[in-house]
């Protein structure tokens, strides 16, 4: 039977040698084994203590790293939230600015064009002072408005002249002709009152031949000499 080298080594170090060089006795072997077991137990305890200390140190470092990582994650989350809020604000301001600079003027000009198409020419065209495309469009709308007014006035003159001429054809006397002329012209020019005085050669005076909306009063005469009153002065 071969001896365990560790046991032999222990016996050689800690057991007295036999005088005759005989192998260790059973008691010596048990003593050596007991010594090895005690030594291994102490060594195991020391190793376990070192492992526990190493484990505790690593766990503390892991916890610290975990805390630092969580703090970094929270900081990054805060930064991301702040950036998202800023991006949202920038987007809202951009939309609002675009609405004021582009959408709102276009909507206003479109509405004014609709009013012009409906015959409303006494309107104000905004944004003509701008030096961009909106200003160009506004100035074009203003040109369209002025052109429409000129066309309206030209058409009004032609239409009114035709209607007045048609009405005058039915007049058979001078008084009827004058009265028809006053009745047709006065409301067309937006006047509330119209009078027509003619020069009477025989009486050498201005005589009222026709009127529109004129109420006769005692202080207002129907005959005026040249230079008399406002009517006589107008005839000079």
pLDDT-flagged residues of the chain (< 70): 1-26, 28-29, 32, 217-220
* 112 in a structural domain: no
Per-residue pLDDT tens digits for 165-213 = 888 888 888 888 888 888 888 888 888 888 888 888 888 888 888 888 8
* 221 in a structural domain: yes
* 196 in a structural domain: yes
* 27 in a structural domain: yes
Alpha-carbon gap, residue 129 to 137, rounded angstroms: 11
pLDDT at 85: 93
* 207 in a structural domain: yes
**Domain end position, chosen among 19, 45, 75:** 75
How many domains in the chain? 2
User: 10-43 burial string, b = 16+ CB within 10 Å, else e?
Assistant: bbeeebeeeeeeeebeeebbebbeebeeeeeeee
* 160 in a structural domain: no
Q: Supply the range of the domain harboring residue 192.
A: 173-234
* 165 in a structural domain: no
Q: Taking the model in full, what pTM does it have?
A: 0.41
pLDDT at 88: 93
pLDDT at 8: 52
* 181 in a structural domain: yes
**Domain end position, chosen among 26, 43, 75:** 75
**Domain end position, chosen among 58, 75, 92:** 75
Q: At what angle do helices 133-168 and 104-117 cross, to 10 degrees?
A: 10
């Amino acid at each position: 039977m071969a001896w365990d080298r560790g046991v032999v080594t222990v016996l050689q170090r800690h057991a007295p040698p036999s005088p005759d060089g005989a192998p260790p006795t059973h008691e010596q072997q048990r003593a050596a084994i007991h010594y090895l077991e005690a030594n291994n137990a102490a060594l195991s305890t020391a190793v376990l203590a070192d492992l526990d200390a190493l484990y505790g140190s690593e766990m503390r470092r892991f916890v610290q790293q975990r805390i630092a990582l969580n703090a970094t994650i929270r900081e990054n989350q805060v930064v991301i939230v702040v950036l998202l809020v800023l991006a949202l604000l920038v987007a809202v301001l951009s939309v609002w600015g675009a609405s004021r600079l582009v959408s709102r003027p276009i909507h206003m000009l479109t509405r004014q064009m609709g009013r012009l198409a409906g015959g409303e020419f006494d309107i104000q065209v905004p944004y003509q002072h701008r030096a961009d495309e909106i200003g160009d469009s506004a100035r074009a709308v203003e040109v369209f408005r002025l052109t429409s007014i000129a066309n309206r006035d030209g058409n009004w003159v032609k239409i009114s002249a035709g209607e007045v001429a048609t009405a005058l054809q039915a007049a058979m006397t001078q008084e009827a002709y004058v009265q028809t002329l006053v009745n047709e012209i006065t409301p067309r020019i937006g006047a509330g009152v119209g009078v027509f005085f003619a020069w009477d050669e025989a009486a050498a005076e201005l005589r009222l031949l026709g009127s529109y909306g004129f109420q006769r009063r005692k202080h207002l005469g129907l005959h005026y000499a040249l230079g008399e009153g406002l009517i006589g002065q107008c005839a000079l």
